Amino acid sequence: MIKNSKIIEKQVLDKISPSEKEKEKIRRTTSQVILEVKKEIKKYDIDLSIELVGSIAKKTFLKDNLDIDIFVLFPTDISRTKLQNIGLSIGKTILKNQEECFAEHPYIRGTFKGLKTEIVPCYKIESASQKLSAVDRTPLHTDYIKKHLTQQQKKEVLLFKQFLRGIGCYGAEAEIEGFSGYLCEILIIKYSTFQSIIEHAQNWRYGHKINLKNENSPEFFTPLVFIDPVDSQRNVASALSDEKFHLFKKACKEYIKEPRLTFFFPNEIKPWTIKKIIDKIEEKKIIGIKIKKPSIISENLYPQIRKTLRSIESLCEQHDFPIIDSQFFIDVKNIYVIFFPINLEISRTKIHMGPPIEMEKNAKEFYIRWQKNKRTIKGPYEKNERLYVEIEREYFQIENLLRKQIPKLSLGKHIDNNVKQYFCIITKKDIIIDPLRTFWTEYLDEKMSWER
């Protein structure tokens, strides 16, 4: 296995490592953008400094995944409002294709000479205990990696990042809920090599904790806990979801059994035909909603969609429509939220259990409440020394439940606004459509990404 994996890993490194020519282009572009930022900060009568952070600064970047991250460091006595305004002004002056993003305070993301670039304001601090916002730690992270990651380990970081990309676990952003670049780097510092991480990770239990400095830290209830070596109060792995934790462990086990190039570079999904999807899904009960996609960045969109899933699942459970599974799909214009209930329609009435008759006060209140209620079909009556009543359900079809109740739910600020304007119930025939073929293929195909 080791011999085979070494051959594969060399092939991967040859493919993902930037050439000297590419490194020179990045150095040149980075120098140019820093020069532009320096020109801008001279306009302000404040002691500002600039720091290149992120994977380019640490030399742990993949050749096809480049981000120039420039931090503008402010004295801690500058107000948050002034920091934000100056930071945004600098970014808007220098970058093209801009969008305003938010990480405790706003910053600008765009392009410079065709490369993705972020210009982020933060406070200049010497230790994490001085931080005034979460982003203030980032320069400390960069310094830590530059001091502790060896030249050889940088290659191991590249391998690990590409492995995670291949299995769909790379990125701490809300869309992915996986491993951040910084988490990859400190895992390599901990375990030295990509191979060692894979061998250890297959045996991790939920809640596995790593602490490089053995400092006191709070309890964290997440699948993986890695105490930040520059801030003992922070879990670097907090973004990692249960799903991605288990997927990563499975991939590690499978890679050890049979290393292959498709763990790093999976084959593209070949969408099934509509007929094949219909045949595969024929027995499943499906219902969903279609909502206009809000014009917001993915960091804000995905948490709201996941909240939407949870809220609607809870609604269905409360009205006796248990949900087996739920999924979502986003295209350019719409969000499709899809549910797999046990039943689309249930009995029109149900038996509602009351208190034991020996609890006289409660029993009396139950009897009064239901005796003349318009939903009461039978009772209240006594059975086995307890009161019961047969009542008409408020909703016996899940479609009516969703249509009437979804506008009343709290689904997230931007989705709420769009739901109030328009949403539609979608059934099986509306969901199994050509634009969703790839989604359905990926959902229904039992093969893992590296097996395709």
- State the Cα–Cα distance between residues 186 and 153, nearest whole angstrom: 10
Q: Which amino acid is present at 23? A: K
| Contact criterion met (CB below 8 Å) for 40 and 90 | yes
> Among the CATH numbers 1.10.1410.30, 3.30.43.10, 2.40.420.20, 3.40.50.720, which is that of 149-263?
1.10.1410.30
The pLDDT value given to residue 381: 92
Asked if 18-146 and 349-392 have one fold, the answer is no
The pLDDT value given to residue 72: 96
- State the Cα–Cα distance between residues 23 and 14, nearest whole angstrom: 14
User: Residue 197 CA to chain centroid, in angstroms?
Assistant: 22
The pLDDT value given to residue 350: 92
- Whether domain 18-146 has CATH 3.30.460.10: the reply is yes
The SS3 assignment for 388 reads strand
Domain edges within the chain? 18-146, 149-263, 274-345+396-451, 349-392
| Contact criterion met (CB below 8 Å) for 101 and 192 | no
Angle between helices 242-257 and 151-167 (to 10 degrees): 110
The pLDDT value given to residue 166: 97
What tokens does 56 get? Answer: 């380019």
The pLDDT value given to residue 296: 86
Q: How many CB atoms lie within 10 A of CB 332?
A: 6
User: Residue 198 CA to chain centroid, in angstroms?
Assistant: 22
The pLDDT value given to residue 2: 57
- State the Cα–Cα distance between residues 415 and 102, nearest whole angstrom: 18
Phi, psi dihedral angles at 322 (to 5 degrees): -60, 140
Q: Residue written as tokens 């532009």?
A: 36
Strand 224-228 to 208-211 pairing:
parallel
Instruction: Compute the residue count for the chain.
Output: 452
The pLDDT value given to residue 3: 59
pTM (two decimals) = 0.90
The pLDDT value given to residue 1: 53
The pLDDT value given to residue 291: 94
Nearest residue to 224 via CA among 213, 211, 240, 212: 240
Which CATH superfamily hosts domain 274-345+396-451?
A: Poly(A) polymerase predicted RNA binding domain (3.30.70.590)
- State the Cα–Cα distance between residues 158 and 12, nearest whole angstrom: 9
Which residues does 435 contact at the CB level (< 8 Å), separation at least 6?
331
Which residues does 93 contact at the CB level (< 8 Å), separation at least 6?
40
The pLDDT value given to residue 134: 84
Q: How many CB atoms lie within 10 A of CB 69?
A: 20
pLDDT in tens, the chain (452 residues): 555 888 999 999 999 999 999 999 999 999 999 999 999 999 999 999 999 999 999 999 999 888 999 999 999 999 999 999 999 999 999 999 998 887 777 899 999 999 999 999 999 999 888 888 889 999 999 999 999 999 999 999 999 999 999 999 999 999 999 999 999 999 999 999 999 999 999 999 999 999 998 888 899 999 999 999 999 999 999 999 999 999 999 999 999 999 999 999 999 999 999 999 999 988 899 999 999 999 888 888 999 999 999 999 999 999 999 999 999 999 989 999 999 999 999 999 999 999 999 998 999 999 999 988 999 999 899 998 999 999 999 999 999 999 999 999 999 889 998 998 889 999 988 899 999 999 999 999 989 999 98
The pLDDT value given to residue 413: 87
> Among the CATH numbers 1.10.3470, 2.60.40, 3.30.70, 3.40.50, which is that of 349-392?
3.30.70
Give Rg (Cα) of the chain.
27
The pLDDT value given to residue 337: 95
